[in-house]
Amino acid sequence: MSKFSKKKSGELPPVSTASLPDIVFMLLFFFMTVTVMKDSSLKVENVLPNASEVKKLEKKDRVIYIYVGKPTQEFQKVFGSEPKIQLNDKFASPSEVGDYILSERAKKSQELQNVLTTALKVDKNANMGLISDIKQELRKVNALKVNYTTYEGDAFRNLQ
Amino acid sequence: MGKKTNFSKVNAGSMADIAFLILIFFLVTTTIHSDSGIDRLLPKLQDESEIGLVQEKNILRVIINEEGDLLVDGQITALDELKETVKGFLDNGGLTKHDPEYCGYCLGDRSIISSDNPSRAIVVLSYDRKAYYSSYIAVQDKLMAAYNELRNREAQRLYGEDYTVLETKFVQPGTSDDSKILIKAKIESIRALYPLKLSEIETK
């Protein structure tokens, strides 16, 4: 009797799935570290324009977002189809931007308060008048660092 | 009895399901891409009237109308010509050689009706209230491209490296503090050669 004759011929052992949880957990941790939570749901159309000379917004905790665009289909009945400003989860008028910036700034820690950037996420079909009003409000509250958030691409595509 | 000592193992088979559930939750609620865009520093509220003191030849007026057409110093210009026009204006260096502010590194036409030197050159961007944001961004992008090309040229000449590369190196998390100081000095010296002087006016 040789040692090796014990093996039954043909039958494969079932594949062990014991390591599956580990793999999935690894994936989970990967996604937890590389992603950020969505903070607010968009109520406006937000197709950003294209630009090529862009810089990355590095630190998420130093950014205040302002969205501008036409209200989406479901809100058009109530708010009309003119471009609107969205702050957090609600529509706002340009005069409310200053207060919003101040209250957001107060939420951040002391050392970040001077290095905040305002990211303007503006739909490409919005009018400059509204943007100009927002910028005027930002200047009033001394929030001077602005980032016009764009997609990376050729600027000529904006003209279509 | 022997049976009591026989502990049954906790079944870990559902662990994978639970982990999958959390994984899917995170996949749905998060965004992976980071934002990028054009950085700008707005002027403070006080200094409004600066432009009145500047000579007309040192100003390049870019006007966007409500259709998105461009008027650059009185001439209708297509968007793809804008970058070269701005570069030519900034890089002109119109002062004579004996002037103390003569721009030695400029390679432009040295025309007397264009800007004296890059640090005096101002681009004035005015736009109609009805102009589309997309055309505004397109113009901003081209302006930035003009500045970046000139800055890259000087950075290549002085440090053998692109200005934009220096900038990305500066914000990269891996860069040590010592090299950051070096890079910052380089960036500032290049910026001093071609300072970004952009003024915005809303036409009504």
For chain A, the structural domain boundaries read 50-159
A101 Cβ contact partners less than 8 Å away, ≥ 6 residues apart: A64, A118, A137, A138, A141, A143
pTM above 0.90? no
Question: What's the pLDDT at B156?
Answer: 92
Residue B19 domain-assigned (yes or no): no
Which residues in chain B are closer than 8 Å to A56, comparing Cβ atoms? Answer: 34-36, 171
Is A51 in Cβ contact with B138 (below 8 Å)?
A: yes
In CATH, the number for domain A50-159 is: 3.30.420.270
Chain A interface includes B44 (CB < 8 A): yes
Residue B52 domain-assigned (yes or no): no
Q: Which residue has the higher pLDDT, B204 or A27?
A: A27
Phi first, then psi: give them for residue B167, nearest 5 degrees: -65, -45
Chain A interface includes B69 (CB < 8 A): no
Residue B105 domain-assigned (yes or no): yes
Give me the mean pLDDT over the A47-52 stretch: 88
Chain A interface includes B201 (CB < 8 A): no
pLDDT > 90: what percent of chain B?
Answer: 9
What one-letter code names the amino acid at A93?
A: S
Residue B63 domain-assigned (yes or no): yes
Is B37 in Cβ contact with A51 (below 8 Å)?
A: yes
Is pLDDT above 70 for A64? Answer: yes
Stretch 3-32 of chain B: residues touching chain A, C-beta under 8 Å: 12-13, 15-16, 19-20, 22-23, 26-27, 29-32
Question: What's the pLDDT at B148?
Answer: 92
Chain B interface includes A128 (CB < 8 A): yes
End-to-end Cα spacing for chain A: 83
Which residues in chain A are closer than 8 Å to B12, comparing Cβ atoms? Answer: 18, 21
Which residues in chain B are closer than 8 Å to A57, comparing Cβ atoms? Answer: 34-37
Is pLDDT above 80 for A90? Answer: yes
Is A146 in Cβ contact with B132 (below 8 Å)?
A: no
Question: What's the pLDDT at B68?
Answer: 82
Is pLDDT above 70 for B60? Answer: yes
Rounded Cα–Cα distance for residues B196 and B86 (Å): 12
- List the one residue out of A126, A143, A51 whose CA is nearest residue B127: A126
Extract the tokens encoding B7: 């502990």
Residue B131 gets which letter from DSSP? S
Q: CA of A9 to nearest chain B CA: how many angstroms apart?
A: 29
Is A53 in Cβ contact with B38 (below 8 Å)?
A: yes
Extract the tokens encoding A98: 């200053």
Stretch 107-126 of chain B: residues touching chain A, C-beta under 8 Å: none
Rounded Cα–Cα distance for residues A56 and A58 (Å): 6
Quote helix, strand, coil % in chain B, to nearest 5. Answer: 45, 15, 40
Detail the DSSP E strand segments found in chain B: 30-31, 36-41, 59-64, 70-72, 75-77, 122-128, 198-203
Chain A interface includes B140 (CB < 8 A): yes
Is A53 in Cβ contact with B144 (below 8 Å)?
A: yes
Calculate the alpha carbon distances from B73 to B82, B84, B125 in Å.
11, 14, 11
- pLDDT tens-digit series, residues B117-132: 888 888 989 999 888 8
CB B94 within 8 A of CB B115: yes
- Residue B153 confidence class, pLDDT cut points 50, 70, 90: very high
- Residue B34 confidence class, pLDDT cut points 50, 70, 90: low
Calculate the alpha carbon distances from B78 to A146, A154, B68 in Å.
27, 15, 10
> Range of B172's domain?
57-203
B136 Cβ contact partners less than 8 Å away, ≥ 6 residues apart: A128, A131, B64, B127
Question: What's the pLDDT at B119?
Answer: 85
Extract the tokens encoding A130: 């509204």
**How many C-beta atoms lie closer than 10 Å to residue B196's C-beta?**
13
What is the b/e burial string over A63-96, where b = at least 16 CB atoms within 10 angstroms of the residue's CB?
A: bbbbbbbbbeeebeeeeeeebbbbbeeebeebee
Q: Which residue has the higher pLDDT, A24 or A70?
A: A70
Q: Would you call B121 helix, strand, or coil by DSSP?
A: coil
